[in-house]
Structure 1
Amino acid sequence: MRLGVLDIGSNTVHMLAADVRPGGRPLAKTSDRTVLRLMRYLTPDGAISEEGVSALEAAVAQARRVAETERVDALLATATSAVRDARNGVEVIARIEAALGQPLQVLDGETEAELTFLAVRRWFGWSAGQLLLLDIGGGSLEIAAGAEELPDAAASVPLGAGRMTVQFLPQDPPGEDDVERLRAHARKTLADVLPRFVSLPKPDHVVGSSKAIRSLARLAGYPAPGWSGTDRMLLPRASLGSWIPRLARLPASARQELPGITPDRTFQIVAAAVSLHTAMRALDIDELEVSPWALREGVLLRYIEQLSWSGARS
């Protein structure tokens, strides 16, 4: 069976086509992405501008064409914080659905965290024990922890890289005072959700997922041997912290010359680093390991699981 997952995020519209079967590992066949950076289209009252909605419609139409070319049996279309939190979200969703030709599932923050946690659990396996997950998108930061496939605690806070860049780091490069204001805001925002996690067992593995964290790991982390013969990437908090002032001194055009910093992330990477570093410090994390799987894989896995259960009942 070939499934498509359309992830309408704050930075990109990403369509992944994968061959799946119950009990099997999803095998990616095609990946198509359009970079949008929706946060730049936000109006002062929090709505997505007409230009932004039109860009969304065009990107969704392109993803639909790819899905049709790949002959997917089902297209699982999801949207996250940028659409969810927009003041004109109802109108935006209606226009996306019209361009897509099917309903759109808008994920709330905790569901986003739970699906990402499911993907990470499947990637690392049951032997990984207690997991603590951090995931940074363009609009929000998700935290989840637990020893099962569903986390015992999950939270979503509006500390995404794009959102924080627009709100706190509009200058290029940003000033030191702006970086410190963002750091203080992140500490205050995280303080509201930390009580959910302090009573949980100490994690056996701390994991980071998302493109931003993978980029930061390539910049400030290091590879270590993996059990399957491939390297895994580790990101120490101290190394990440040492890179923040250096990143902040560089203009966006120069950051993309650094390892791991792609052109679509160069404007937001300082905010991503500050949000992640602040979360690692607040949760007393010295180092995290990067997961190749994240939300899209979680959406796929949940759908396969539901198919398996419906087949068993019939």
Structure 2
Amino acid sequence: MRLGVLDVGSNTVHLLVVDAHPGARPLPAHSHKVELRLAQLLDEGGAIGPDGVDRLVAVIREALQAAEDKGVEDLLPFATSAVREATNADDVLERVRDDTGVELTVLTGAEEARLTFLAARRWFGWSAGRLLVLDIGGGSLEIAYGIDEEPDAAVSLPLGAGRLTAARLPDDPPHPDDVRALRRHVRAEIARTVGEFSRLGAPDHVVATSKTFRQLARIAGAARSAEGLYVQRELKRASLEAWVPRLAAMTSAERAELPGVSEGRANQLLAGALVAEAAMDLFHVESLEICPWALREGVILRRLDHMGPV
């Protein structure tokens, strides 16, 4: 059957269309995404303003039309941290439902971490052993660890690249004092969670998902996306540590010239790099592998699991 996943994230609204059935690997058929940056549209009171809601409704309508054009039979719509944490979330969800007919399921941070972990587990298989999975989104950082398909520990922290950039790095290029303050903040937040994972033992394999990690791996020398999903891509901590001060000295326009960095994400790449560097350091990770599957694939896999065999 043809499934569609509508992901209303902190950076983008992304429709992923796949051909899938229980027991088979989901095959991507179409991708439609618009950079909305909801995490950066919150007002001082933490609400998504009227213009932001109008834009969200318009983008969802576009995605619905794309889903119809591609023959989607079942649409799985969900929202993550930007909507979840908006002070007017209920009003936003009601407006979306009234104007588009879409009932957005708002995932908790822990659900995001668990579903992303499921996707990574299915991608790497049981032979990967104990997995530590890191995911940096626009609004939050998810960390999950475990040996089965359900992680033994899963947390979500308010350390998304878009959120941190908007709140703590107002200048372009950023002021060194702001960079140092953000570095301290990120490390203090992550350090509070390390003990919960350390007691479970060292992971056998560390993997990372998300656009932020893919871009960081690419500028550090990993293969281009054009070379395919099955090319192994790694990010070494030493390479990342060398890149952080370089990124801090660049403007957003200069970062956008780096290989694999999109213009829309260039401004938040430094914040994402600081989060990635802190997580790898505090969890004693020397190298991690980039996983092509993430939250959207986890949602699809969970849906197929609930369908059962045909």
TM-score (norm 2): 0.96
- For 1:13 and 1:271, the matched residues in 2 are separated by 21
Does structure 1 retain, via aligned residues, the 8 Å contact 2:229–2:292? Answer: no
Name the aligned partner's letter for residue 239 of structure 2. S
Cα offsets for 1:223-257 (capped at 9, x unmatched): 59xxx994211001111111111111111111111
| Contact 1:60–1:99 under 8 Å retained in 2 | no
Structure 2 residue aligned with 1:127 = 127
Distance (whole Å) between structure 1 residues aligned to residue 190 and residue 246 of structure 2 = 24
Task: Measure the CA separation in 1 of the matches of 2:100 and 2:145.
Answer: 34
- For 1:263 and 1:77, the matched residues in 2 are separated by 27
Contact 2:168–2:182, Cα closer than 8 Å, also in 1? yes
Asked whether the 8 Å contact 2:6–2:13 carries over to 1, the reply is yes
Q: Distance in 2 between matches of 1:96 and 1:265?
A: 26
Structure 1 residues 172-251: aligned runs within 5 Å: 172-223=172-223, 230-251=230-251
1-side partners of 2:151 and 2:49: how far apart? 36
Shift of 1:192: 2.5
Task: Name the structure 2 match of 1:270.
Answer: 270
CA distance in 2, matches of 1:156, 1:4: 25
Q: What 5-or-longer segments of structure 2 have no aligned partner?
A: none
In 1: Cα distance, 2:251 partner to 2:82 partner: 25
Deviations 1:178-226 (A, max 9, x none): 11111111111112222220111211110000011101110114359xx
Question: Quick check: 2:47–2:88 contact (8 Å CA) kept in 1?
Answer: yes
CA–CA distance in 2 between the matches of 1:191 and 1:281?
10
Distance 2:252 2:223 in 1: 26
State whether residues 48 and 88 of structure 1, in contact with CA within 8 Å, keep that contact through their aligned partners in structure 2.
Answer: yes
Offset at residue 92 of structure 1 (A): 1.1
Change (3 A) 1:229 1:52: closer
Return the letter of the residue paired with 1:162: G
- Partner Cα distance (1:130, 1:222) in 2: 24
Structure-2 residue corresponding to 1:298: 298
Residue matched to 1:169: 169
Distance in 2 (alpha carbons) for counterparts of 1:11 and 1:206: 25
Moved over 6 A (4+): none
Question: CA distance change for structure 1 residues 16 and 230 in 2, over 3 Å: closer, same or farther?
Answer: closer
1:268 match: secondary structure:
helix
Shift of 1:99: 3.6
Distance (whole Å) between structure 1 residues aligned to residue 221 and residue 123 of structure 2:
20
Instruction: Give the match for residue 89 of structure 2.
Output: 89
Q: Describe the shift of the 1:229–1:114 C-alpha distance in structure 2 as closer, same or farther (beyond 3 A).
A: closer
Quick one: which amino acid aligns to residue 135 of structure 1? D
> Is the 8 Å Cα contact of residues 219 and 258 (structure 2) preserved in structure 1?
yes
Amino acid at match of 2:163: R
Contact 1:138–1:162 (CA under 8 A) maintained in structure 2: yes
Match of 2:101 in 1: 101
- The aligned counterpart of 2:153 is 153
Task: Count matched residues.
Answer: 307
CA contact (8 A) 1:237 1:277 kept: yes
Percent sequence identity over aligned pairs: 51
Amino acid at match of 2:101: G
Displacement of 1:278: 0.7
Distance 2:222 2:208 in 1: 14
Q: Does 1:3 align with 2:3?
A: yes
Rounded to whole Å, the distance in 2 between the matches of 1:192 and 1:94 is 36
Q: Is the 8 A contact 1:14 1:33 kept in 2?
A: yes
Q: 1:20 to 1:229 in 2, by over 3 A?
A: closer
- State the match for 1:252 in structure 2: 252
C-alpha deviation, 1:268, in angstroms: 0.6
CA contact (8 A) 2:38 2:82 kept: yes
Check conservation: 1:221, 1:236, Cα contact below 8 A. no
User: What residue number does 1:115 align with?
Assistant: 115
AA in 2 matched with 1:169: L
Q: Secondary structure at the match of 1:194?
A: helix
- CA 1:237 to 1:109, structure 2 compared with 1: closer, same or farther past 3 Å? same
AA aligned opposite 1:247:
L
Displacement of 1:289: 0.4
1:43 and 1:49 in contact (8 A); partners too:
yes
Name the SS for the 1:214 alignment partner: helix
